[in-house]
Amino acid sequence: MDKINITNYTPPDRPELMRLLLALQRDYFAENAERQFQELRREKDSVRSFEKYLDEIAEEKESWKILMARNEAGRVVGMIIGSTSEDEELVLGRMGQFEDWFVEPGVRGQGVGLQLYRELEKWFKEKGCQQVCSDTWRGNELSIKAHEKMGFFVSGVKFSKKL
Ligand SMILES: CC(C)(COP(=O)(O)OP(=O)(O)OC[C@H]1O[C@@H](n2cnc3c(N)ncnc32)[C@H](O)[C@@H]1OP(=O)(O)O)[C@@H](O)C(=O)NCCC(=O)NCCS
């Protein structure tokens, strides 16, 4: 396997990050999520939604982390995005939120996802986080298995209904 280099996101990475976000949230979701859930999450314009998402992250840099994974040739093969927040009512109220995580199909199962998550978790700890939460859709077994491998447990169940 190629040696993988994990780096902080910088603005020139934006087109590659957009490519991976769309591959995850639009294409992979469309291929893997249940039809009725897809209908509820369908966006008017995915590209515009992600442009907006990245603009918002850029405005709140301190509470967000984006990491990019590159192979030896310098090609981007994965990314991870996390954020931090505070819930003052909780004893362990400093939270890390694990937002987006994607590794290209051709390099999955070789430890790239784990490397990305480890770096993100290091940052959560540096930021004083006391817990990390994350979610995915029902049936995304790859994600569920990978989360369990990183030490997560399933902590809740979400319900949706079309009206
Ligand atoms: C989830 C994802 C980012 C993990 O990246 P990855 O590089 O494949 O992960 P790793 O190779 O580091 O594997 C980590 C663990 O995930 C699980 N895993 C990885 N590939 C798997 C597979 N094909 N089948 C079952 N479990 C698998 C294993 O537990 C693995 O640990 P192990 O190899 O020590 O058993 C990647 O599979 C992916 O992009 N999936 C599609 C998008 C997605 O679901 N993203 C998360 C949305 S919340």
Q: How far apart are CA 134 and CA 153, in angstroms?
A: 10
Testing ligand 1's pocket by substitution, the residue of 70, 149, 150, 152 carrying the most ligand atoms inside 8 A of its CB is: 149
Testing ligand 1's pocket by substitution, the residue of 28, 41, 114 carrying the most ligand atoms inside 8 A of its CB is: 114
| Mean model confidence pLDDT for the chain | 96
- Report if residue 98 sits inside a domain: yes
Residue 15 reports pLDDT greater than 80 = yes
- DSSP secondary structure of 9-40: --GGGHHHHHHHHHIIIIIIHHHHS-HHHHHH
- Report if residue 139 sits inside a domain: yes
Tell the residue number behind the tokens 């319900």, with chain if given.
159
- Report if residue 47 sits inside a domain: yes
Tens of pLDDT, residue by residue over 98-125, are 999 999 999 999 999 999 999 999 999 9
Read off the pLDDT of each residue in 5-14 and give the average, rounded to a whole number. Answer: 97
Tens of pLDDT, residue by residue over 53-95, are 999 999 999 999 999 999 999 999 999 999 999 999 999 999 9
**CATH number of the domain within which 81 lies:** 3.40.630.30
Q: Do residues 97 and 82 make contact, with C-beta atoms less than 8 angstroms apart?
A: yes
First CA to last CA distance, the chain: 48
The count of structural domains within the chain is 1
Print the domain residue range for 83.
Answer: 5-149
The residues with which 7 forms a beta bridge, in sequence order, are 68
- Atom 14, ligand 1: which residue's CA is nearest? 146
* C-alpha 163 – ligand 1 centre gap (Å): 34
Q: Is 108 in the pocket of ligand 1 (CB under 6 A)?
A: yes
- Report if residue 162 sits inside a domain: no
Residue 1 reports pLDDT greater than 90 = no
